[in-house]
Amino acid sequence: MNTSTSSTSAAASASGALPRIAVLATGGTIAGSAADVTNTSGYQAGVVGVERLLEAVPALSGVAQIRPEQIAGVDSKDMALALWTTLAQRINVLLASDDIDGVVITHGTDTLEETAYLLHLTVKGTKPVVLTAAMRPASALSADGPLNLLNAVTVAASAAAHGQGVLVAFNNRIHSARDVVKTSTYAVDAFQSPEIGALGWVQDGRVEFQRKVVRAHTVATEFVIGANWPNVEIVTSYAGASRLGVDALVAAGVRGIVVAGTGNGSIHASIQQALADAATQGVAVVRSSRVGSGHVMRNGAAADDVLGFVSAGSLNPYKARVLLMLALAAGATGAVALQTIFDKY
Ligand code: SIN
């Protein structure tokens, strides 16, 4: 076990000043508002500005010097590729600046795991980058956003968070962007890292990491954020499935398809034949699982070597899509090259 604990960044404690943390707001339930304090499902996401989010947490002034920026105000179900580009490029500028010690991003919970993994692979720096969110809107009784925001800033301000890749601070736990997934539609402990658990925890100003991320990220990837996103879509396998969806995607000219297979990435025979046909036409096909935890064994439930498929390993279909888009954008072609990338990240 690798345990490291800290409360403030090394640079800040050397100078005696509080760390300078940029807080980039993108919307979500953390910035949501409803007419009634008991309404936690029928609210409008992304309408409360970053200044008001910060005002709700006076204790932040004892943790960091906050540099707020309103990047967007979206419900994250509507997260767009262009906004990903804007966000990642802005973070890279901030990480390169001598005036910033870390970055926090407030985000909706619905696609947080996708944005977090995208940033994990494309931001370039070792300073902390921490996403947070909330399950209850800012207007709710017992809103979880304020404490999540305080904890995210506390993690971003800590020396222990340096070089850990992009992190998610949620409900007192610190997760790696690679592993974390949303697992509940309503509970305040909605984020988990299935199989392997959180990296650590944050509570009352104390940050403790109990393990490190092993797979390559941030400065150790070949991925560069750009504006050209290859078209990659996701299909699901299920009882009675047909090949209609895959054939429509291939006819539309997609570059890649991720299949959310059953179990160990097994695929209904109709879809599997359609995907094999797609692969022979040069479409990248990645086999993932709809199960929600575990991994997909290469050449296990499907003959990847024969069919020209790639195994997503332990990435869920949504994160596998992120990696496939980045890999194709970086010029990777063919199942062998893509499998090497999936095995690395
Ligand atoms: C969103 O993802 O923007 C809405 C839902 C949430 O943040 O919990």
Domains and CATH numbers, the chain: 4-220 (3.40.50.1170), 232-344 (3.40.50.40)
Cβ of 75 less than 6 Å from ligand 1: yes
Residue-wise burial string across 95-134, b where 16 or more C-beta atoms lie within 10 A, e elsewhere: beeeebbbbbbbbbbbbbbbbbbbbbbbbbbebbbbbbbb
Substitution site in 41, 44, 109, 318 for ligand 1 pocket (most atoms within 8 Å of beta carbon) = 109
Q: What's the CA-to-centroid distance between 317 and ligand 1, angstroms?
A: 19
* Ligand 1 atom index nearest CA of 135: 8
Could you list the pLDDT tens digit for every one of the 345 residues in the chain?
A: 445 566 565 555 566 799 999 999 999 999 999 999 999 999 999 999 999 999 999 999 999 999 999 999 999 999 999 999 999 999 999 999 999 999 999 999 999 999 999 999 999 999 999 999 999 999 999 999 999 999 999 999 999 999 999 999 999 999 999 999 999 999 999 999 999 999 999 999 999 999 999 999 999 999 999 999 999 999 999 999 999 999 999 999 999 999 999 999 999 999 999 999 999 999 999 999 999 999 999 999 999 999 999 999 999 999 999 999 999 999 999 999 999 999 999
Nearest-angstrom CA–CA distance, 80 and 28? 14
Cβ neighbours of residue 98 closer than 8 Å, sequence gap 6 or more: none
Res 16: pLDDT? 78
CB distance 283 to 256 below 8 Å: yes
What is the 202 CA–ligand 1 centroid distance (Å)?
A: 22
Q: Which atom of ligand 1 is nearest to the CA of 27?
A: 3
Catalytic machinery residues? 29
- Which tokens hold the place of 220? 């150790």
Counting ligand 1 atoms within 8 A of each CB, the residue from 26, 29, 78 with the most, and so the one to mutate, is 29
Ligand 1 centroid – CA 113 distance (Å)? 12
Supply the Cα-derived Rg of the chain in whole angstroms: 20
CB of residue 113 inside a 6 A radius of ligand 1: no
- How would you label 77-93 residue by residue, b for 16+ Cβ within 10 Å and e otherwise? eebeeebbbbbbebbbe
Residue 314 near ligand 1, beta carbon < 6 Å: no
Task: Record the pTM.
Answer: 0.96
H or E stretch at 241: none
Secondary-structure breakdown of the chain: helix, strand, coil percentages, each rounded to the nearest 5: 35, 20, 45
